[in-house]
Structure 1
Amino acid sequence: MRGAGPYAGAMTPTQTSHAPAPPRPGLSAAQLAGLIACPRCDAVYRAVQPAPGERAVCMRCDAVLIAPRRRAGEQIIAVALAVVVLVVAATLAPFLAIEAGGRAHASSVLDAALAFASAGPAAILALAVAALIVFIPVLRALLVIYVLAPIVANRPPAPRAAAAFRLSEALRPWSMAEIFAIGCAVALVKIADLAQVHFGPAFWMFAALVVLVVIQDGFMCRYSVWKSLER
């Protein structure tokens, strides 16, 4: 149990106050439903719902386990819609324009991803890049909207909402639009001495996308979502 402050009353260890321990075998389904495991170190706790604005954290590794927020669902849906708009617009708008020797060339994100689409084995790599930076981020955002929209509207969960949310979480490590933007920024530093580089609208869209992804992950309380889907 944490002391006073935003962590107060967040967690109760399953067996000892010094270190969390796994539950004993033979627990009933109701007892198992009241437990939560740390996704980072696998410590198991009895879940106690903190008040909005407070957080439940792991006593072993300080990972955030439960972080409910007021009106978080509406905020996450708004961010997810913004992610969809930004990613779709960024695939069509110019990303970079390079000028050297009196010649200039502008390219969009989709042009860059599919540049090798007809080059034999490299086409697989091109399609993978397009999926990681365009299709998967859009799919994740749409899945989040599909799962949270009925919950926010106080309606029963959508059909197969649990499977949709599970897929969204499974795709999270593979959504790399923000990694692409950071990688491009690093590459620009290396070619700045060789040519004049001009940022297109899509570059700033991806910069905003990095911020939105961080905000979405900060607002998302996965424990609260799962509990809402169970109800």
Structure 2
Amino acid sequence: MRDTVPRTDLIVCPHCDAAWSLARPEPGERAVCQRCHTVLITPRRKAGMQIIALATAVLFLIIAAAIFPFLTISAGGTTNSVSILEAALAFSDGPLILLALATAALIVFIPLTRVLLSLYVLVPLVLDRPPAPHAARAFRLSEALRPWSMAEVFVIGCAVALIKISELADVTFGPAFWMFAALVVLVVLQESFLCRWSVWNALSEPQKS
């Protein structure tokens, strides 16, 4: 009968599936796959608190950006302000309702879900407490949703659209626009601080004992 105990002395590259002997780097160093150069481990001192602070800021920015005016457009003596959710759900009454709901999910609800899952998983670990119930499943779901969190794609699309609209009307950025721009930057910082191997290792330690 084969031994089914997980190998803790190996690490597998998530990009090219190469297996390497695990050598834990010191804080500030990083372990890189020698085949495809994917970063495997990036431990940082006090990274947990930094990630929680960034995630909390992202949470408030997402909620505020979804409520406050995103753009104000003036043309022909008519002025109209629109929020992100109103823009995403503009066609929700017609045959494009599925597209409208998908757009709202990709730019608001999925990023919101990911940040809530991150806080649910990381807060107990950073406070040196046992992982929350089903924390591994929650972190796995957060990682599965990562490709579908498209806030930065929305910002790029808005930038392209605004260049064309500005020739036809006066466009004024609302507070939600700047909140969303800051949100994208904070999400990038949060992703750069997060060492996924460290999270999985912390979640598996109670099971080993």
Question: Whole-Å Cα distance in 2 between the matches of residues 33 and 79 of structure 1?
Answer: 30
Q: Give the aligned partner of residue 205 of structure 1.
A: 179
Q: Give the aligned partner of residue 91 of structure 2.
A: 116
Indicate the SS of the match to 2:17: coil
The answer to whether the aligner puts 1:61 opposite 2:36 as a matched pair is yes
Letter in 2 for 1:33: T
Shift of 1:172: 0.4
Task: Report the CA distance shift for 1:213/1:153 in structure 2 as closer, same or farther (over 3 A).
Answer: same
Question: Whole-Å Cα distance in 1 between the matches of residues 111 and 6 of structure 2?
Answer: 36
Scaled by the length of structure 2, the TM-score of the pair is 0.94
Indicate the SS of the match to 2:7: helix
Question: Whole-Å Cα distance in 1 between the matches of residues 127 and 103 of structure 2?
Answer: 36
Letter in 2 for 1:70: R
Indicate the structure with greater helix content: 2
Spell out, residue by residue over 1:52-90, the C-alpha distance to the aligned partner (whole angstroms, 9 max, x if none): 000000111211000000111111111111111001000
Matches within 5 A, 1:181-192: 181-192=155-166
Question: Whole-Å Cα distance in 1 between the matches of residues 55 and 42 of structure 2?
Answer: 19
Q: Give the aligned partner of residue 167 of structure 2.
A: 193
Deviating above 6 A after TM superposition, structure 1's stretches of 4 or more consecutive aligned residues are none
Larger radius of gyration: 1
Q: Give the aligned partner of residue 175 of structure 1.
A: 149
Scaled by the length of structure 1, the TM-score of the pair is 0.85
Shift of 1:32: 2.4
Q: Give the aligned partner of residue 107 of structure 1.
A: 82
Q: Give the aligned partner of residue 5 of structure 1.
A: none
Shift of 1:102: 1.5
Aligned with 1:42 (options 10, 13, 17):
17
Q: Give the aligned partner of residue 73 of structure 1.
A: 48
Question: Whole-Å Cα distance in 2 between the matches of residues 99 and 178 of structure 1?
Answer: 26
Whether contact under 8 Å (1:178, 1:209) holds in the other structure is no
Whether contact under 8 Å (1:35, 1:47) holds in the other structure is yes
Question: Whole-Å Cα distance in 2 between the matches of residues 48 and 176 of structure 1?
Answer: 34
Q: More displaced, 182-191 or 88-97?
A: 182-191
Whether contact under 8 Å (1:97, 1:197) holds in the other structure is yes
Indicate the SS of the match to 1:118: coil
Superposed CA RMSD: 1.4
Q: Give the aligned partner of residue 99 of structure 2.
A: 125
Shift of 1:39: 1.5
Shift of 1:27: 8.0
Spell out, residue by residue over 1:148-190, the C-alpha distance to the aligned partner (whole angstroms, 9 max, x if none): 1110110110000000000000000111122111210111112
Aligned with 2:125 (options 134, 142, 151):
151
Spell out, residue by residue over 1:123-155, the C-alpha distance to the aligned partner (whole angstroms, 9 max, x if none): 111111111111111110010000011101101
Letter in 1 for 2:42: A
Q: Give the aligned partner of residue 166 of structure 1.
A: 140
Q: Which structure's relative contact order is higher, taking Cα pairs within 8 Å and 6+ residues apart?
A: 2
Whether contact under 8 Å (1:133, 1:180) holds in the other structure is yes
Gaps of at least 5 residues in structure 2 are none
Whether contact under 8 Å (1:140, 1:171) holds in the other structure is yes
The answer to whether the aligner puts 1:98 opposite 2:98 as a matched pair is no
